[in-house]
Structure formats: C-alpha cells, structure tokens
Amino acid sequence: MELFISLLIGIGLSAAAGFRLLVPFLALSLATLVGHFPVSPELAWVGTFPALEALTVGLLLEVLAYYIPWLDHLLDMVTLPLSMLAGTLLTAAFTTHLDPFLQWSLAIVAGGGAAATAKVLAGGSRLTSTFTTGGFGNFMVATLELLGAIALSGIALFLPKIALVMMVLLLLVLSWQGYRHWQHSRSPELPA
C-alpha cells in the first residue's frame, strides 16, 4: 500500500508539473518545511529556505510570463521537455524503495507521461484559445492551469487517492474537448 500511495503522490505532482513546472516543487518545499511531509534524501534540498525562496521567485516569473500572449506559446515548447524531466524526477524521488530498474521505468513512463500529457493537453487548450480569441482568452487558460497545478499539488500531497481520481477526470474532460475540436476541424464546411 505504501508503494501505491508513493506512486500516486509522484504521479500527481508530475501531472501538476505539466501545468506549471515549479508549482509541485514549491508545494513540496512548503509541506516539507512545515514538517507535514518527509522527503527522500534525493529531495532533501527542497526542504530548505533557500530552495523555497528560489522556487517562489521562479514561480512568480513563470506565472507572469504565461500572461504574455506570444511568450506563453514559446514557454509551452520549452517547458514540455522540462516538465517531462520534472515529472520523471518527482516520481523517481517517491519510489526510491523500489529496484532501480523498476523505479526509473515507472518514473519515466508514469511520471514523465503524466507531465507530458498534462502539458500537451494544456498547450492544446491554449492554441484553441489563441485561434478563437486572438490570444485575448489565453489569460483564462493560464489562470486555470495555475489553479489546476496548485490544487493537484496540494491534493497529491495530502489526499493522493483523490488526486488519481482528479487526474483521470481531468484527462477525460480534456481528451473529450480535444476530440470535439478534432471532429469539428475534420467536418466539411457547409456552403453559405
């Protein structure tokens, strides 16, 4: 059961990293500093005040950058591989008691996959917003991504089983929206 909970926490934080790269690290830092959450030796640095300060400044810059319409798309391209790496590392850090091959296989597939899926689906929402609103609606997408990352990080740390349900529901909703958009783009245009 401990393995399952650890894996859920890692995957939940990984998915949050797909929405905002630094939110899960900042949430983990806060939880560690207040003594709620012990971390593995690999993540001991996250429980320090310098890490908290650096993550806070980095997150503020990341959030502000996502409110600039042309910069948000550039950030999506840059942060996709970084989110996958962060997701892999977060999941690996929570499965240290496994055989290294299994640990890193799970981390790459589950953690990196959760982060990549969240990033690609969020990026698709941003592209849709750009095409439909000329970029004026992107601030709503950025705000929803930030709130989703905060909620998912908090729930992953404090209620990991609920985080799994949230991730599945979010994946289904975003996939449905993507499918509807894809169907709409394939339908022949009706004559005027």
Q: What is the CA radius of gyration of the chain?
A: 17
Q: Summarize pLDDT for 124-165 with one digit per residue, the tens.
A: 888 888 888 887 888 888 899 999 999 999 999 888 888 778
The model's pTM? 0.82
186, part of any domain: no
Domain assignment of residue 85, given as a range: 2-173
18, part of any domain: yes
189, part of any domain: no
Q: Summarize pLDDT for 87-111 with one digit per residue, the tens.
A: 999 999 888 888 999 999 999 999 9
Question: Which stretches of the chain are assigned E, i.e. beta strand?
Answer: none
184, part of any domain: no
Taking the C-alpha atoms of residue 71 and residue 73, their distance in angstroms, rounded to an integer, is 5
Taking the C-alpha atoms of residue 123 and residue 166, their distance in angstroms, rounded to an integer, is 19
CA dihedral over 43, 8, 103, 173, signed as positive or negative: negative
182, part of any domain: no
CA angle 8–12–16, rounded 5-degree value: 170
Number of domains into which the chain is organized: 1
